Amino acid sequence: MNKRYVIGAIIIVVFIVVGFFAFVDTKVEYANFQHASETHKKTQVKGTWVKEKDAKFDATTNKFTFYMKDESNVEMKVILDGAEPNNFKMAESVVAKGKIKDGSFHATEVLTKCPSKYEGDGQDVKKSSM
C-alpha cells in the first residue's frame, strides 16, 4: 500500500513538471526588434510589412522572406518557416513570432491583421432626437 502512494506521488510530480514546462514554452511576450535581440528568447514582434522591399517565397527551402518595421520604426528581415500567410498583401499590421538569429528575425508563425469589412467608414452617424 505504501508503494502505491509513492508511485502516485511520483506520477503527480511528473505531470506538474511537464505541465509547467509546456506552459512556459507557450508564453511568448511582445517585444520590439531591439528587445528581441537582447533576450534571445522567442518573442512576438508587432509591426508593418515594408512593401517597397522584396517579399518572396523560396520553394526549395520552404521559406517566405520579407522586411518588417516594428512599432519603434526599426526595420529587419523576417524569414518565416513556411509559405506566405493568408491575406499577407492586404495586411494592415503583422505579428511575427520567433527569435533573432544572424541579424534576421526567424519566425515560426506570422499573423496578419487585415482591414475589417465590419468597421465603419469613419463618418459620424448623427442620431435624430425624438
Listed range (9-18, 71-80, 121-130) with the worst mean pLDDT: 121-130
CATH of domain 29-113: 2.40.50.140
Whether the predicted pLDDT of 109 surpasses 80: yes
**Closest C-alpha to 70, from 111, 108, 34:** 34
Predicted confidence at residue 29, as pLDDT, reads 79
Task: Please state, in angstroms and rounded to a whole number, the distance separating the CA atoms of residues 47 and 45.
Answer: 7
pTM: 0.68
**Closest C-alpha to 92, from 51, 55, 124, 53:** 51
**Closest C-alpha to 47, from 57, 56, 35:** 35
pLDDT digits (tens, 9 = 90+) for 63-84: 999 999 999 999 999 999 999 9
pLDDT digits (tens, 9 = 90+) for 89-103: 888 899 999 999 989
Domain ranges, ordered by start, for the chain = 29-113
Q: Tell me which H or E stretch contains 29.
A: strand 29-31
